[in-house]
Amino acid sequence: MKANIDMSALAVFIFFFVLVTAMGFFASRWRRAESLDHLDEWGLGGRKFGTWITWFLVGGDFYTAYTVIAVPALVYAIGAYGFFALPYTIIVYPLVFAVMPLLWKAAKERGYVTAGDVVRGTYGSRALELAVASTGVIATMPYIALQLIGMEVAIKALGLTGEMPIILAFLVLALYTYSSGLRAPALIAFVKDIMIYIVVLAAIIVVPSKLGGYSAVFSAADAAFEAKGKGGILLDPTQLVPYVTLALGSALAAFMYPHTLTGIFASSGANTIRKNAVLLPAYTLLLGLLALLGYMGHAAGLQLQSNNDVVPTLFKTLFPGWFAGFAFSAIAIGALVPAAVMSIGAANLFTRNFWKVWVNPDVTPAGEAQVAKITSMLVKVGALVAILLLPTQFALDLQLLGGLWILQTLPALVFGLYTSWFRAPALLAGWAAGFIGGSALVWSDGLKPLHALAFDGVTVSVYTGLLALALNVTVAVAVNLIVPAKETADDDLHVAEAESRS
pTM of the model: 0.87
Could you read off the pLDDT of 161-209 as tens digits, one per residue? 777 888 888 788 888 888 888 888 888 988 888 998 899 889 889 989 9
Separation CA 427–CA 208 (nearest Å): 52
Which residues contact residue 489 at a Cβ distance below 8 angstroms, ignoring those fewer than 6 apart? none
Closest by alpha carbon to 411, among 460, 475, 365, 463? 475
Buried b (16+ CB within 10 A) or exposed e, 201-216: eebbeebbeebeebee
pLDDT, tens digit only, all 502 positions of the chain: 455 788 899 999 999 989 988 998 888 888 777 666 788 888 888 888 888 888 888 887 777 777 788 889 889 999 998 888 888 888 888 989 999 999 999 888 888 999 999 999 999 999 999 999 999 999 988 888 888 888 888 888 888 877 788 888 878 888 888 888 888 888 898 888 899 889 988 988 998 999 899 999 999 999 999 998 888 999 888 889 999 999 999 889 988 999 888 888 999 889 999 998 888 888 888 888 889 999 999 999 988 888 888 999 999 999 999 999 999 999 988 888 888 888 999 999 999 999 999 999 998 988 999 999 999 988 888 888 877 777 666 666 677 788 899 999 999 999 999 999 999 999 999 999 999 999 999 999 988 889 999 887 888 999 999 999 999 999 999 999 997 765 544 444 444 444 444 4
Size of the chain, expressed as the number of residues it contains: 502
pLDDT score at 500: 43
8 CB burial (10 A radius; 0-12, 13-18, 19+): middle
So where are the chain's domains?
Answer: 7-389
The domain 7-389 having CATH identifier 1.20.1730.10: the answer here is yes
- 3-class state of residue 75 by DSSP: helix
N-to-C CA span, the chain: 49
Whether residue 491 contacts residue 270, with contact meaning beta carbons closer than 8 Å, is answered with: no
C-alpha pair distances (Å), 139 with each of 309, 387, 408: 25, 16, 11
Residue 461: φ, ψ to 5°:
-100, 130
